[in-house]
Amino acid sequence: MAQNENEDRVIDHDFEFEQHHVNNHEQQQQKGTRLLKEEEASVEKVFKHLLVPTWQNQLTLRAFVVSFFLSVLFSFIVMKLNLTTGIIPSLNVSAGLLGFFFVKTWTKFLEKSDMLKQPFTRQENTVIQTCVVASSGIAFSGGFGSYLFGMSKHVADQSLDHSDFKNPNLGWIIAFLFVVSFLGLFSVVPLRKIMIIDFKLTYPSGTATAHLINSFHTPQGAKLAKKQVKLLGRFFSLSFLWGFFQWFYTASEGCGFQSFPSLGLKAFDNKFYFDFSALYIGVGMICPYIINISVLVGGILSWGVMWPLIKTREGHWYKDNLGDTNLQGIQGYRVFIAIAMILGDGLYNFVKVLTHTLLGLYNQIRNKQKASALPIADQDSTSSPEAELSYDDQRRKQLFLKDQIPRWFAIGGYVAIASISTATLPHIFPQLKWYYIIVIYLIAPTLAFCNAYGCGLTDWSLVSTYGKLAIFTIGAWAGASHGGVLASLAACGVMMNIVSTASDLMQDFKTGYLTLASPRSMFVSQIIGTAMGCVISPCVFWIFYKAFPDLGTHKSQYPAPNAIVFRNMAILGVQGFSSLPNNCLLLCYIFFGAAILINLIKDLVGKVGRFIPLPMAMAIPFYLGPYFAIDMCVGSLILFVWEKVDKTKADAFAPAVASGLICGDGIWTLPLSMLALFGVKPPICMKFLSRATNNRVDTFLAKN
């Protein structure tokens, strides 16, 4: 009996051993299959034969020379977009492509002359990309089309409060940007390992940019990039020359192709027309279809339905003959209903992203705790997290952790810059007290982390929402009697700069992680780019400010819609709702609630939700009109037809075509500004009149 039991045990043991051996064999097979697939899909194995330069060698003089010129180009583009509609698409593809093209051309020339000392690497390409995006980003976060220009007398005269203003001046703008733009960089540096390696946040824009740069530096990618640059150059030239051609017909207000009543004169009076803008056709090709459709739907709802109906209440809801730009009249409804929608959308997405952030953070910490639990005795050692990493991830992690940025340096840098800023800002804005600034700097790192984390999860940066949060809190704290309007706008600027640069830096760290660029070179490039932007962006704005005297007015070609919106938000935060026209507050409540409801429905209905318009995009034409939405939808239509005819070519070349259209029109602004500054007027006025008006003009001219 005992012998039988022993035999059974031996059989059981043999079976267990054999089963364990089979399982191990299967695991090894699965692992081998996985490694084979990784071998085929591996990016880093393509570059295995290339040495990764040290972080100092990634920061080359030619990289920063190219970055400077591209920063000027993109600052003009972002500034023009900022001062026209405020819709700014991602320009990362253009920056990466042009950076690759210019340095590749440079190195080829030196190679032929036997003067090339260092080859062009993807790490250097990443440095250029980071520097350009950091520099041109200041054109947005610097507030030239929003809070900063909203402080001016020009915008104050169009708002409900005319008393509190500070006119732009190149000196104080540059000083302001230098003391607030670097804090965000130091606030999130200690978290780079947690965000990129531990939490494995995707940062979709940073990841897409890295894949683009990696592809440029493969033989096939280099050939494609050459074709893309050639196409970009053609459409750049076409767009630039089209802008020059249009200029000849704009001798006075209301002249030229920009005032072409393509849909009829009645539609033109309600801002429905195609204005032949190459810039916004390009923007429409880059922006998702739903953004362009949302803007058009918002334009139809407001200028096609609501404003004509509210105008019928003139004399009842608001006084007669107040004019089209008075905030006590029809303009008040346009501006404040748009603000209500923007705030409703912003509040919903703030809560949504914050909830995602906190849940994601909780899950990451919980999973980390599970992973750090004691291993089971018979657990296969090969299944450890380190062993599960692919070759690419192991290589990237090794190099990402190699060049550390000391924590004391980041914390010390933040404290030092915050101290300088706290001492300096009250001299620039006396209304912004030192204790307001300290409170902002104590809260800002937390908000910067939330935005950077949320951006890593969703690719959605809520920079403007955090700025509006500062407007209402500081405005209410300061009050009207202590310059609350200017104090809240300045506080908005401080907050937006910190939060924006923090999320941008983390995106760049992700790009650097995927291209093996050192975190130190990324950080230095971001600092240099930010410093460039603190000088370039104010100078570009100054050209616009001096060249176009009607800048920021409703009928200008540069109406700066966000400036009036941000200023009136500050006034509401300080003074409340007492000065709004009749029934305006009720309509604001309705549209605020509608914005939240639309977003909620979008998220609840699943895939169908992608066809529901976005309230934030719908709100933009409420103030401006839908003319630019028609341009953007033309861009969408071109892309849609191209994708139907040849999707492969459309995917490869549409971003290059769009970038060419945007860059050509954007850079045309520089000579246009120079012509305006030197008083050179166009020779022809092309104007469109109704038949009756034309007959009256002919009769008048015949008599004289």
Is 388's pLDDT higher than 80? no
In this structure, the number of other CB atoms found within 10 A of the CB of residue 119 comes to 11
Predicted pLDDT at 509: 92
Residue 166, classed as helix, strand or coil, is coil
Average pLDDT on 276-303 reads 90
Query: Is the sign of the CA dihedral 242, 248, 249, 254 positive or negative?
Result: positive
Is 34's pLDDT higher than 70? no
Predicted pLDDT at 538: 96
Predicted pLDDT at 466: 86
Predicted pLDDT at 372: 56
Cα-flanking dihedrals φ and ψ of residue 280, to 5°? Answer: -80, -20
116 burial (CB, 10 Å; 0-12 / 13-18 / 19+) is middle
Predicted pLDDT at 302: 93
**Better pLDDT: 179 or 314:** 179
pLDDT, averaged across the chain: 84
**Better pLDDT: 534 or 324:** 534
**Better pLDDT: 346 or 537:** 537
Q: What ranges in 389-430 are assigned the alpha helix state H?
A: 391-400, 407-428
Assess contact for 338 and 622: CB atoms under 8 A: yes
Task: Give the confidence band of 378 by pLDDT, cuts at 50, 70, 90.
Answer: very low
580: left (phi over 0), alpha (psi -120 to 50) or beta: beta
Predicted pLDDT at 513: 92
Is 594's pLDDT higher than 90? yes
Average pLDDT on 284-306 reads 91
Is 182's pLDDT higher than 80? yes
Residue 314, classed as helix, strand or coil, is strand
Residue 438: C-alpha distances to residues 419, 448, 494 (Å): 9, 16, 11
Task: Give the confidence band of 138 by pLDDT, cuts at 50, 70, 90.
Answer: very high
Residue 342: C-alpha distances to residues 141, 465, 498 (Å): 18, 9, 21
- pLDDT for 88-102, tens place per residue? 877 777 787 888 888
Is 216's pLDDT higher than 80? yes
Q: Give the separation between CA 513 and CA 193, rounded to whole angstroms.
A: 10
Cα-flanking dihedrals φ and ψ of residue 145, to 5°? Answer: -110, 10
Entry pTM: 0.81
Q: Give the separation between CA 151 and CA 562, rounded to whole angstroms.
A: 12
Average pLDDT on 589-611 reads 91
Residue 272: C-alpha distances to residues 82, 177, 613 (Å): 21, 38, 19
- pLDDT for 652-667, tens place per residue? 888 889 888 888 888 8
Count each helix (H run) and each strand (E run) in the chain, helices first.
29, 0
Task: Give the confidence band of 41 by pLDDT, cuts at 50, 70, 90.
Answer: low
Predicted pLDDT at 484: 86
- pLDDT for 498-517, tens place per residue? 999 988 899 899 999 999 99
Average pLDDT on 413-420 reads 94
Average pLDDT on 133-160 reads 90
Assess contact for 564 and 159: CB atoms under 8 A: yes
Is 300's pLDDT higher than 90? yes
**What percent of the chain has pLDDT above 90?**
33
For residue 23 the two structure tokens come to: 């399982």
Q: Give the separation between CA 227 and CA 54, rounded to whole angstroms.
A: 31
**Residues 9-22 as b or e (16 or more Cβ within 10 Å = b):** eeeeeeeeeeeeee
Predicted pLDDT at 131: 94
